[in-house]
Amino acid sequence: MNEDSPHDLDKRASGNLLDKIQEFEFIFVLHLMFKMLLLNELNKALQKKDQDIVNAMGLLNLLKRRLQTMRESSLESLMDEVYSFCGKHDVLILEMTEDYPRSKRKKPEVSYLRHFRVEVFYAVIDLQIQELNNRFDVVTSDLLLGMASLNPIDSFVNFRKRRIMKLAEYYKSEFGDNQLRDLSYQLDSFIVYARECDSKFLNLKRIKDLSMMMAQTKLDQNWSLVYLFVKLTLILPVATASM
C-alpha cells in the first residue's frame, strides 16, 4: 500500500504503520505479549467440554505464580531478546537512561527504562493477575472446588469433605448449624457406601449421574442432605456460566 496505493491518505497511513512497527517500543510489546500468550495451560483447560475443575484450579494457581515470577525476574531476559531482535532487523535501540518523550501536561519525566519496566511490563502483568483474581475470587473458587469434590468420576477421586462443607456454608437457608453437622455425618457414611458397598456407584461420570442413581436406589432418603447438596451443585453451572 505504501508503494502502490493510488490514494495519498492510504500511503500516509501505511507509511505511519510501517514506521511504528519498526520502533523499539512496538517490538518490546510484541515480545511481551508473545510470552504472555504462551502461558495458556489454564486457557486450554477451561475450554474442554468435560473440565477437571480441580486440575483447572491448580492451573489457575500455577498461572498466577508464573506471572508473579515473570514480574520479579524476567524483565532483563525479555530486554535481551528485544535487543537481539532489533540488532538482527536494524531497528534503532534506545538509550534506556534517556527521558521517555511525553507531553509536559502529563506525568513527570521518566527514563525509557522506567517506562518499559513500570508502565508497560509491570502494568500488563498486574492487569492480568487482577483479571484472574476478579474472575476467580475466593467465593468462586470455593464453589467450583466444592462442586468437583462430589463428582463421582473414578470412584470419587476428587472427594474432599472440607471443600464440600465450605460450599454448603454459602447456602445458609438450606444448611444451618444443625444441618451442617448432620451433612458432615452423612458424607462420612455416604462416601464409604459409594466406594465400597455398592458397585452401581463405581462407573458414574457426572454429578447428574450421581443424582439419578441416588433417586433410583432411594438413597436420597437415607442421605437427604447429601442429595440436597447434589441438587444444588446441578444448579451452580447455570450461575457460573458467564464466568
Residues 131 and 145 in one domain: no
Asked if residue 1 belongs to a domain, the reply is no
Q: Pick from 135, 157, 184: which residue ends a domain?
A: 135
Looking up cell 442413581 gives 213
Greater confidence (220 vs 233) lies with: 220
Q: Pick from 110, 135, 160: which residue ends a domain?
A: 135
Residues 173 and 131 in one domain: no
Greater confidence (231 vs 56) lies with: 231
For 36, residues 6+ apart whose C-beta sits below 8 A from its C-beta are 124, 125, 128
Asked if residue 2 belongs to a domain, the reply is no
- pLDDT (average), residues 146-165: 86
Residues 174 and 150 in one domain: yes
Residues 112 and 207 in one domain: no
pLDDT at 243: 44
Q: How far apart are CA 99 and CA 115, in angstroms?
A: 9
Residues 125 and 12 in one domain: yes
Sign of the CA dihedral 9, 14, 17, 18?
Answer: negative
pTM over 0.75: no
Instruction: Summarize pLDDT for 87-119 with one digit per residue, the tens.
Output: 999 999 999 999 888 766 666 788 999 999 999
Looking up cell 534506556 gives 96
pLDDT at 1: 83
**Average of per-residue pLDDT values in the chain:** 86
Asked if residue 105 belongs to a domain, the reply is yes
Residues 74 and 164 in one domain: no
Sign of the CA dihedral 120, 127, 40, 163?
Answer: positive
Looking up cell 445458609 gives 172
Asked if residue 33 belongs to a domain, the reply is yes
First to last CA, the chain: 42
Residues 116 and 200 in one domain: no
> At residue 149, does pLDDT exceed 90?
no
For 156, residues 6+ apart whose C-beta sits below 8 A from its C-beta are 150, 191, 194, 195
Greater confidence (139 vs 111) lies with: 111
Q: Which domain holds residue 165?
A: 138-240
Asked if residue 91 belongs to a domain, the reply is yes
Residues 113 and 162 in one domain: no
Residues 13 and 102 in one domain: yes
Residues 12 and 113 in one domain: yes
Residues 126 and 143 in one domain: no
Residues 120 and 108 in one domain: yes
Q: How many domains does the chain have?
A: 2
Q: Pick from 135, 157, 183: which residue ends a domain?
A: 135
Instruction: Summarize pLDDT for 33-59 with one digit per residue, the tens.
Output: 999 988 877 777 777 655 566 677 778
Asked if residue 94 belongs to a domain, the reply is yes
